[in-house]
Structure 1
């Protein structure tokens, strides 16, 4: 199964993806990790454009063909990127669950953006102005929306686990 987790920076995507990967024994594909590896190689500088996503789609499809659960985490801001994740699952013959992580409290979201620390060496984190002004297209199809505002990660994870179990049934 492919679980696509998207949303603006500082909403809790990485935290939820890591927890979900641990609970499902899934492969966590993080586009930030892929993009920073490309930058470290010397082949590109930030922003790297679509290359990190394209590598992610290929890795997701390969892991899905091996029968693994894949948690693909990225901002996933455009319909074209969302469609590409779904297409990878279809080509691999795997079901897909799409998840949008939001933080509905703007003050909390801003605090998170300002207080978070980088966990990938040399990865530049966007500031609040960049996050708030980011191009992020509205979703045009059903997805699970997980609102992390005012909750501990475990509480935000619960509806996600329920949706995964339902999708697998």
Structure 2
């Protein structure tokens, strides 16, 4: 069975990290969080936000190493542009993995805003974007199929179960 790359994307404060971390706990897959990588780069270099593609490139290279050794990966990031989505897909397919692209949304704007204003990123020194920054963020519409999981409608456990079901190989 080839490894699996699950890319969990979506706007900040939709529940991506919560869902992806629980998915990693349940599956035992490696978990890569681009925010963690970017903040480590900022802490140890003279670089500052915005980093541009650096965090995504590092995460994809680490994912490629894991996939090459047969280890399945959950990559969590905003994944806002077609170019980032294409790059993740190419990383997985280029290393013999199955790829599941997942977009986490929060369809209730009031709940999304509440989460944005109340959340703790869990990463030292990482300042979460303000609500208006989330609303104004560049986020291209998807142009291909992906699994959409709405955390305004599903609790974490059910959201994870939906992704697990979609990740099962089809026979």
TM-score in same-fold range (> 0.5): yes
Q: List alignment gaps of at least 5 residues for structure 2.
A: none
SS at match of 1:35: helix
Give the count of matched residue pairs: 168
Kindly report structure 1 stretches of 4+ aligned residues shifted beyond 3 Å: none
Alpha-carbon distance in 1 for matches of 2:29, 2:74: 7
Partner of 2:104, secondary structure, is strand
Task: Label 1:142 to 1:150 Cα distance change in 2 as closer, same or farther (>3 A).
Answer: closer
1:81 aligns with 2:112: no
1:16 pairs with 2:19: yes
- Cα separation, 2, equivalents of 1:150 and 1:163: 18
What displacement does 1:48 show? 1.0
Q: CA deviation at 1:142?
A: 0.5
Post-superposition Cα deviations, 1:76-125, rounded to whole Å, max 9, x if no partner, equal: 00000000001111221111000000000000000000011130000110
* 90-99 or 148-157, larger mean C-alpha shift: 148-157
- In the TM superposition, 1:17-166 aligns within 5 A as 17-166=20-169
TM-score, with structure 2 as normaliser: 0.95
The answer to whether the Cα contact below 8 Å between 1:24 and 1:69 also exists between their aligned partners in 2 is no
In structure 2, the partner of 1:3 is 6
What are the Cα deviations for residues 121-153 of structure 1, in whole angstroms up to 9, with x where unaligned? 001100100001100000110000000004321
